[in-house]
Amino acid sequence: MRLVIPLMITFVAGMIMILQFFVPATQSMGESLQEWYMIVASAAIFLGAVNLIQVHTHKIRFKLKNWKYSPVTIIGFSVMILTGLFLGIEPGRPFDYMFSQMMVPMGATMFSLLAFFVASAAFRAFRASNWRATLLLVSAFVVMLGRVPIGTMIWDRIPLISEWIMQVPNLAGQRAVMIGAAMGMVATSLRMIFGIERSYLGGAD
Amino acid sequence: MRKILFVLPLLIFTGVLFAQSSGITSDENGDCFIQSLTAEDARNDAGGNIDIKWMVATDAVIPDSMILERFDSGGVWSPISTILPANGRKTDANLENGQEYSYRIVPFYGGVAETASETAAAIPGKQWIHTGRIGMLVILTLISLAVFYYIEQGKRGKDLYIRRIAGLTAVEDAVGRATEMGRPVLYIPGIMDMDDIQTIASMVILSRVAMKTAEYGSSLLVPTCRSVVMSVAQETVKESYLQMGRPDAFHKESINYITDDQFGYAAGVDGIMVRQKPAAIFMLGTFYAESLILAETGRSVGAIQIAGTAMPSQIPFFIAACDYTLIGEELFAASAYLSKEPKLLGSLRGQDVAKLFFMIVIVLGVLSATIGEAWEPATKVADFLKTITRVE
Amino acid sequence: MATFLEKLGNIDRRIIFIMMALAVIIPLSIRMSLPIPIGEGPSKDMYDAVEALPSGSRVLLSFDYDPSTMPELQPMAIALVQHLMTKDIKIVSMALWPMGVSLGNEALIAVSDSLGREEYVDWVNLGYKTGGGVLIVRLGSDIKSVFPVDYDGNPVDDMPVMDGVNKLGDFEMIISLSAGDPGVPAWVMMAGDRYNIPIGGGCTAVSAPQFYPYLSTGQMIGLLGGLKGAADYETMVRIGVENAPAGTATPGMAAQSVAHLVIMIFIILGNISYLAGKKKKGRVK
């Protein structure tokens, strides 16, 4: 009985979504479900915020390992929320200032780490150990050169070869992965809608 | 007389049907700038919409502007939109199903309204089958039948072979290694919400990994990027611990929400990796540009890393930085592989048969389209395949 | 004792990081510039598709990114808005990512002020709503019920730019600048495929390969991939425009060129070390 209700909800919601895709007359049912999801997703933001506070106050209270980072998190979280709520979010306000002068550069910094990690991963991974690895290495060189102006300066056909690699072999590989994954998605969805896969509910045999 | 009484309702019924299906078309008006105006019930919708199309004369004086009007229930013509003096189409939305609506177009010359076009009318209604998706319905039915057939075969005890997937075989070793080293297992379920099928698949694998950590007694950390995922992960892990008879070992706070922000999350998880030094890291779900940032940091702390995603652009990064990578569909096969449940294995076989079907369709399509270049009839096969696989 | 060549293969990654940092900092500091060649490709297709839109058309521009990917996507946003506004195309913008709204607003206000365009008449920013793909499906049937007011809280019904815009089908084109999900794939599947609306997009360089299948099937009309896509678009928009302001992507391409060369040099060094080690092993056997 503990599993029956969630399984029934999954089945009914799944069937409604499939039905509304093929039967236009039932679209309103699907739209209602989608609205519910949007409401649940919006409400869940508070759930996350509460959990964040709970976890970090717990760490501070019991002085758990690395607890000194937790006040930073709580202060940062509170300052952003309170300034936004009481002083507004319009340009020129403290919230906007913190967003553009702190959030933006910090986010960009994290993203730019990718350049360093790509370099070290490429250095490690691209070894001409056999003919297939060599082919991969040569393709990588052509694409890297083709994506920057210096490639054209070396040979004006490099961008064309690079584009061909992207449009033909890359595309074929991408499609194969996508089609395989799509089949997996359909099968997983069917397993869940029909209650065959229930391990996520603690119902594994 | 009886015959007339019999035929009259039939005529009315046919008339209504005709109006519903194809709409009522105005006559061509040679004198007017508007040559034809048609209105018809919008196709494949839930009702309430009428498609209006008009064509203009090429040899008449072009008006300054035109207004599309609807004859409303109050008995007056009211404007619904200003339209360009050229051929065009518009959908009139939010109408009442089953009620007839008439339309006309009024041209304006120098700000003065001239004779309106002929009227066109239609009755909006809802459709019970989406004609542009019938091919997909057939394909989905075939896939479902294949999946259910092999699930049944699995249930009956038929031996179903599944090839070895190194990344999944290593799950037990990874958890065992973490236990030996006395370090935690870090499980990252991607950065997407629960409406993403990869996150759902990840939760299914999480339940299996949690069973192993419960069995081995190692600690499990699950930082999440979405609060709904956090709730689901907490329930999933709790159930796994319960099932393994270790509810005491379940710590709710080790499954926590970090932030919705993509790189804020990456920074938070990197911090956990550097501070807690997990011995095993699982990255299973939907990943974007943060994949390599996470995988390289995980590698730098010496963890054994098992990654899996159906995001084609992130797979190369995982392959470069992780010990094992589940590629695309392997992520969705993980639950069946780890549990070896006949029902789940059966569904994998069904999935493979469906894939074979698509491979045949692709090969047939390519061949027929190529041969069609030289031999015309072959293109009919390609066109047929295109029709059945097209989705509107 | 390991030889120099063998050590080269296990070079400390911090050295690679320092070299990468220098490869980016130096070209940017000395304002190194390289010409951006524009050839056939997804960037050009994107430009041509926008160029083909008649004046007065309506385009939905979705800012589906956040500050972290701003260096790649914001120059695209500015160049696209500039192109659209120069051609007198009405822009209705929105965001599937919460922080995309303010970033989009910055681009819209900056370009609109420089070209003398009017908010609510020539463009409007509807703001952010949660829901991703689900939200797009809802926009397909009724935009004004999802966004009854714009980002500033003004009712959209009263805005001239929203006149005749009731659902996604009323747009001539949708462009999504996307750093992940929800983004381009959601727009292609939920809007492009369902309502037959041309979809264009911009994305980070690491995500670009995954969108090539959509380009080849015609599900996308064009794609701006990473800084290169942004620089291509900036260059194309600037052609024939006198005193056009310089974008931020074009100068970045010189730094990217040098960074790519540095990565290639490291890969070559790694392979020399690998081959030397292999040769040595062969001799030992």
Question: Residue C174's beta-bridge partner residues?
Answer: C60, C199
B333-377 pLDDT per residue, tens: 988 888 888 888 888 898 899 889 889 999 999 999 999 999 988
B286 neighbors B267 (Cβ within 8 angstroms): no
Dihedrals phi, psi of C224, to nearest 5 degrees: -105, 110
B37 and B167 together in one domain: no
B57 neighbors B35 (Cβ within 8 angstroms): yes
Nearest to B240 among A69, A197, A202 (CB): A202
Give me the torsion for CA of B170, B176, B181, B184, rounded to 10°.
80
A66 and A145 together in one domain: no
Question: Does A98 map to a domain?
Answer: no
Instruction: Decide if B289 and C179 are in contact by the 8 Å CB cutoff.
Output: yes
Give the residue on B whose Cα is nearest the Cα of C134: B195
Residue C96's SS3 state is coil
Question: Does A119 map to a domain?
Answer: no
Asked if the peptide bond before residue C182 counts as cis, ω within 30 degrees of 0, the response is yes
Q: Provide mean pLDDT across the span C121-130.
A: 92
Residues in contact with B6: Cβ distance below 8 Å, sequence separation at least 6, in sequence order: none
Instruction: Decide if B329 and A180 are in contact by the 8 Å CB cutoff.
Output: yes
Structure tokens at A137: 């290495």
C192 neighbors C198 (Cβ within 8 angstroms): yes
Q: Which chains reach chain B with 3 or more Cβ–Cβ distances below 8 angstroms?
A: A, C
Dihedrals phi, psi of C155, to nearest 5 degrees: -65, 130
Contacts of A120 in chain B (CB under 8 A): 296
B225 and B328 together in one domain: yes
Question: Does B279 map to a domain?
Answer: yes
B199 and B330 together in one domain: yes
Any chain A CB within 8 A of the CB of B101? no
Q: Which residues of C214-231 are buried (b: 16+ CB within 10 A; e: fewer)?
A: bbeeebbbbbbbbbbbbb
Mean pLDDT for chain B overall: 86
Q: Judge whether residue A125 has pLDDT over 60.
A: yes
B280 and B369 together in one domain: no
B170 and B317 together in one domain: yes
pLDDT given for residue B26 in this prediction: 45
pLDDT given for residue C270 in this prediction: 92
Question: Does A58 map to a domain?
Answer: yes
pLDDT given for residue A79 in this prediction: 95
Least confident piece of the model among A52-56, A158-162, B55-59: B55-59
Q: Judge whether residue B13 has pLDDT over 50.
A: no
Question: Does B81 map to a domain?
Answer: yes
Q: Provide mean pLDDT across the span C11-21.
A: 93
B77 and B194 together in one domain: no
Structure tokens at A171: 């595309």
CATH of the domain at B71: 2.60.40.10
pLDDT given for residue B145 in this prediction: 92
Per-residue confidence at A1, pLDDT binned at 50, 70, 90? low
Helix, strand, coil share (%) of chain A residues, nearest 5: 80, 0, 20
C223 neighbors C201 (Cβ within 8 angstroms): yes
B336 and B350 together in one domain: no
Beta-carbon-side half-sphere exposure of residue B377 (alpha carbons within 13 Å): 0
Per-residue confidence at A165, pLDDT binned at 50, 70, 90? very high
A193-205 pLDDT per residue, tens: 998 888 777 654 4
B24 neighbors B122 (Cβ within 8 angstroms): yes
Last residue of a domain, one of A87, A112, A147: A87
Give the Å distances, CA to CA, from B206 to A51, B209, B259, B314: 20, 5, 20, 21
Q: How many domains does chain A have?
A: 2
Q: Provide mean pLDDT across the span B194-222.
A: 92
Instruction: For chain C, give the percent of residues with pLDDT over 70.
Output: 96
pLDDT given for residue B15 in this prediction: 40
Mean pLDDT for chain A overall: 88
Last residue of a domain, one of B325, B340, B355: B340
Q: Which domain holds residue A83?
A: 1-87
Length of chain B: 392
Q: Judge whether residue A6 has pLDDT over 50.
A: yes
Instruction: Decide if A202 and B232 are in contact by the 8 Å CB cutoff.
Output: no
Contacts of A118 in chain C (CB under 8 A): 263
SS3 per-residue string spanning chain B = CHHHHHHHHHHHHHHHHHHHHHCEECCCCCCCCEEEEEEEECCCCCCCCEEEEEEECCCCCCCCEEEEEEECCCCCEEEEEEECCCCEEEEECCCCCCCCEEEEEEEEECCEECCCCCCEEECCCCCCCCHHHHHHHHHHHHHHHHHHHHHHHHHCCCCCCCCCCHHHHHHHHHHHHHHHHCCCEEEECCCCCCCCHHHHHHHHHHHHHHHHHHHHCCCEEEEECCHHHHHHHHHHHHHHHHHCCCHHHCCHHHEEECCCCHHHHHHHHHHHHHHHCCCEEEEECCCCCHHHHHHHHHHHCCCEEEEEECCCCCHHHHHHHCCEEEECHHHHHHHHHHHCCHHHHHHHHHHHHHHHHHHHHHHHHHHHHHHHCCCCCHHHHHHHHHHHHCCC
Per-residue confidence at C285, pLDDT binned at 50, 70, 90? low
Q: Judge whether residue B265 has pLDDT over 90.
A: yes
B298 and B371 together in one domain: no
Q: Which domain holds residue B79?
A: 2-122
pLDDT given for residue C284 in this prediction: 67
**Does pTM surpass 0.95?**
no
Dihedrals phi, psi of B236, to nearest 5 degrees: -60, -50
Dihedrals phi, psi of B7, to nearest 5 degrees: -75, -35
Last residue of a domain, one of B340, B356, B377: B340
Any chain A CB within 8 A of the CB of B329? yes
Give the residue on B whose Cα is nearest the Cα of A103: B264
Higher-pLDDT residue of C60 and A38 is: C60
pLDDT given for residue C163 in this prediction: 86
pLDDT given for residue B194 in this prediction: 85
pLDDT given for residue B19 in this prediction: 39
Contacts of C169 in chain B (CB under 8 A): 91
Rounded Cα distance between B266 and B286, Å, is 13
- C196: left (phi > 0), else alpha (psi -120 to 50), else beta? left
CATH of the domain at B307: 3.40.50.720
Any chain A CB within 8 A of the CB of B221? no
Q: Judge whether residue B3 has pLDDT over 80.
A: no
A151 neighbors A158 (Cβ within 8 angstroms): yes
Q: How many domains does chain B have?
A: 3
Question: Residue B282's beta-bridge partner residues?
Answer: B187, B306
B312 neighbors A169 (Cβ within 8 angstroms): no
Question: Residue C177's beta-bridge partner residues?
Answer: C63, C202
B211 and B310 together in one domain: yes
Question: Does A96 map to a domain?
Answer: no
Length of chain C: 285
Give the Å distances, CA to CA, from B183 to A66, B301, C93, C102: 16, 12, 48, 42
Question: Does B150 map to a domain?
Answer: no
Question: Does A97 map to a domain?
Answer: no
B255 and B292 together in one domain: yes
B135-175 pLDDT per residue, tens: 889 988 998 999 899 989 888 888 888 888 999 999 999 99
**Interface size, chain A vs chain C, as Cβ–Cβ contacts under 8 Å:** 145
Rounded Cα distance between A186 and B352, Å, is 12
pLDDT given for residue B18 in this prediction: 39
Question: Does A16 map to a domain?
Answer: yes
Q: Where are the alpha helices (DSSP H) in chain C?
A: 4-9, 13-29, 42-51, 70-86, 100-115, 133-141, 143-146, 184-187, 193-195, 212-216, 226-238, 249-284
pLDDT given for residue B29 in this prediction: 43
